[in-house]
Amino acid sequence: MFSRKIITVILTLFIALSINAQSAKYKRAEATFRAGGYNEAAALYKESYTHPSNDNTKKAEILFKIGECYRLISEPKKAVNSYKKAISKKYSDPIVYLYYGDCLLQLSDYETANLAYEKYNSLRPSDKRGQLGLKQCELAELWSQNPSGYLVENVRPWNSKQSDFSPAFLNSDYTKIIFTSSRDGAMGKKVSNVTGEKFTDIFQVELQRSQKWTKPEVLPEGVNSEFDEGSTAITPDGKEMYFTRCITKKKGKFGCRIYSVKYSDDEWLTPTNLKLAEDSSIVAHPSISPDGLTMFFTADIPGGYGGKDIWKVTRATESGDWGKPENLGKDINTAGNEMYPFIRDNSEFYFSSDSHEGMGGLDIFRAKKTDAGYLVENMRYPLNSSFDDFGIVFESENETGYFSSNRVGGVGSDDIYRFHLPPMRLAIAGTITDVDTKEPLAKADVKLIGNDGSLLTTTTTEKGNFKFSLRRNTQYVVVSSLDNYLNGKAKANTMDADESKTIEVALTMKSYEKPIEIPNILYDFDKWDLRAESTSELDKLVEILNDNPNIIIELGAHTDFRGDENHNNKLSHQRAESVVNYLVNKGISKARLRSRGYGSSNSKEVDKTIADKFNFLREGSLLTKEYINSLQNEAQKEIAHQINRRTEFKVISADYQEVKSNRSNIPGQRNE
């Protein structure tokens, strides 16, 4: 009895100590997470998860926090697994669906991501981040299928199995480049509890005469330290570097600051903390304007718009003190994170964000200054992906440079990529066919007329094809011509072209070997005045005549056979004259127009179009009095009469030349 009591007490004590130990481990995980040590926190959370005292609610909470650790160090696959398990255990906070969707988006699982965002929207309809997620899924699919003109390649000689990111140019000819890396060879020997990799240092590579890059070499001690060194920026004269340093303290808390270091006599001097914003835990990612008087940077200074914002400071001279930080405003900054600013020589501003409309993760954006603020534009795929894309730099005003990404297919966790935009190639390609037969028209003459005064000509192939190269910022008209055909016309422009493309056009041409009916030319009964409904079709005829300035046409009006023949002849002539008068009033020379009233003398021949529309009429039949009277009923006969009542035009000459006025023909003027 006594020994049983002792055993019970010992077991109770053991369980209590175990629970306390487990509680201490969880508390340590929480403290490490709050300090930003996400990699270490994930391991601690996992150790605390398995304790028997944890119920499903506690386990769901721990799984969610493990997912958070992986999300915050950009390991979306591991994060997805943890979030999914947390959801299966009924984790109560709807935010799990948002972050689950964000990580699925990074993995390009758009279908499941959409479901997660829709679930979040149903639970938190007032939070715009769910709608943003749905939009990002849509854009990621769209832009992946319609890439911009940039070409992207991994700079494998620079990249390691660890993190390599944030390149910057050390000289003006771009042959010396520095970047940040956690590779072997870094000065810091400790492992970061944030990333699980070594503390990062700044490395340098140089392009040799053989056009091969040297192996990355770590910059000397002083610039680099036992802590994390991050993104850099070089002044225009190349004599001073600004860089990020994040210092880890004993309690696990860390802070990032921007330091300045000068280069003199072939060596880097002692760095100085700029102390731009002491009330911020994060001051990082410097970028210097071309004149050296403005510095842009990332910070979490109070008074911002959300997470990390982009700020700037200015100074009066290159040796002056930096002023007070100014937020770049709501056009740039959001409730999320804006980071890695870069200002180009052409004053275009670039940055990365996870909350502007993009493809997922951090995307690179371009911002152009306008009178109303900044106009922000996503740089699209392939510069952006569903993963994190950041730290872009350009070679002066050239569309060439480098950026960082942790996208699939890299060498390590973060890699450096090179990009360039090939010369823009613009073209127009088309096919010309007969509008009725749909057959291609070979050997048609084609002219390309630009509003810049350019004129190019070609002829179509046996398949009716043609192609021209185009210039930027130009409006074009394509005109096709062929014997016994009305000219074809199409328009194209390259005013808004921002990438290589070929404009596809399809031109049709109408043969005028037979009369061409003008549809919908309507008159009141026994009248010759044009009804208002007729003008739209006649305006098309005006356009045809303007596009074919060498043709002379006959306007022929027809009636059905009912009524007095003389009256029908007179009425049809008056109707034809009404059309001529309309065209003259629209600026067509009367010398190009003839009118004729045919009465009921020319019955309409049923063509394929008419036969397809009215199956009781046979193709090739003439709608004579005898044929119409043979039809089955009055409704069919009335349709046939209506077809006969038509206005047509036919080309009777294609050699009209406009007679230009001559001063010698003007009375009272002396011929000079």
User: Residue 319: what pLDDT?
Assistant: 87
The candidate with the shortest Cα–Cα distance to 230, out of 212, 216, 250, 247, is 247
Q: Which two tokens stand for residue 348?
A: 């275009």
Beta strands in 265-308 (DSSP E): 267-268, 272-273, 283-288, 294-299
Give 656's pLDDT tier (boundaries 50, 70, 90).
Answer: confident
pLDDT at residue 522 is higher than 70:
no
Percentage of the chain with pLDDT > 90?
63
Task: Give the CATH architecture of domain 26-145.
Answer: Alpha Horseshoe (1.25)
Q: Rounded to whole angstroms, how far apart are CA atoms 592 and 658?
A: 9
Does the bond joining 382 to the residue before it have cis omega, within 30 degrees of 0? yes
pLDDT at residue 654 is higher than 80:
yes
Write the burial class of residue 587 (CB in 10 Å: 0-12 exposed, 13-18 middle, 19+ buried): exposed
- The DSSP letter of residue 497 is -
In tens, the pLDDT along 357-394 reads 999 999 999 999 888 889 999 999 999 999 999 999 99
CATH 2.120.10.30 domain extents, the chain = 151-420
In tens, the pLDDT along 549-602 reads 998 999 999 988 888 889 989 988 998 999 999 999 999 999 999 999 998 888
Q: Under the phi-then-psi rule, with left for phi > 0, alpha for psi from -120 to 50, and beta for the rest, what region is 537?
A: alpha
* Per CATH, domain 426-509 is 2.60.40.1120: yes
Give 665's pLDDT tier (boundaries 50, 70, 90).
Answer: very low
User: Residue 24: what pLDDT?
Assistant: 79
pLDDT at residue 252 is higher than 60:
no
Rounded to the nearest angstrom, the gap between the alpha carbon of residue 129 and the centroid of all alpha carbons in its chain is 21
- Top pLDDT among 70 and 190 is at 70
In tens, the pLDDT along 310-365 reads 999 999 998 899 999 999 999 999 999 999 999 998 889 999 999 999 999 999 99
| Alpha-carbon Rg for the chain in angstroms | 39
Mean pLDDT of the chain: 89
- Top pLDDT among 670 and 194 is at 194
What is the CATH code for 516-604+646-653? 3.30.1330.60
Q: Rounded to whole angstroms, how far apart are CA atoms 474 and 451?
A: 6
* Lowest-confidence region among 2-11, 134-143, 252-261: 2-11
Which pairing describes strands 349-353 and 338-343: parallel, antiparallel, or unpaired? antiparallel
Average pLDDT over residues 29-54: 87
Average pLDDT over residues 57-67: 94
Q: Rounded to whole angstroms, how far apart are CA atoms 409 and 401?
A: 20
- In contact, 387 and 405? CB cutoff 8 Å: yes
Q: Rounded to whole angstroms, how far apart are CA atoms 518 and 664?
A: 41
CATH 1.25.40.10 domain extents, the chain = 26-145
User: Residue 658: what pLDDT?
Assistant: 78
Give the residue carrying structure tokens 């610039």.
223
Task: Give the CATH architecture of domain 151-420.
Answer: 6 Propeller (2.120)
Q: Is the dihedral of CA 293, 297, 299, 302 positive or negative?
A: positive
Give the residue carrying structure tokens 């009256």.
567
Q: What angle do CA 395, 399, 405 make, to 5 degrees?
A: 80
- In contact, 530 and 582? CB cutoff 8 Å: yes
User: Residue 667: what pLDDT?
Assistant: 40
Q: Rounded to whole angstroms, how far apart are CA atoms 582 and 575?
A: 11
Q: Rounded to whole angstroms, how far apart are CA atoms 267 and 265?
A: 6
Percentage of the chain with pLDDT > 70?
93
CATH 3.30.1330.60 domain extents, the chain = 516-604+646-653
CATH 2.60.40.1120 domain extents, the chain = 426-509
Give 527's pLDDT tier (boundaries 50, 70, 90).
Answer: confident
pLDDT at residue 603 is higher than 60:
yes
Average pLDDT over residues 57-78: 92
Give 220's pLDDT tier (boundaries 50, 70, 90).
Answer: very high
In tens, the pLDDT along 391-435 reads 999 998 889 999 999 998 899 889 999 999 988 889 999 999 999
Q: Rounded to whole angstroms, how far apart are CA atoms 100 and 84?
A: 7
Q: Which two tokens stand for residue 609?
A: 């179009």
Q: Rounded to whole angstroms, how far apart are CA atoms 265 and 503?
A: 57
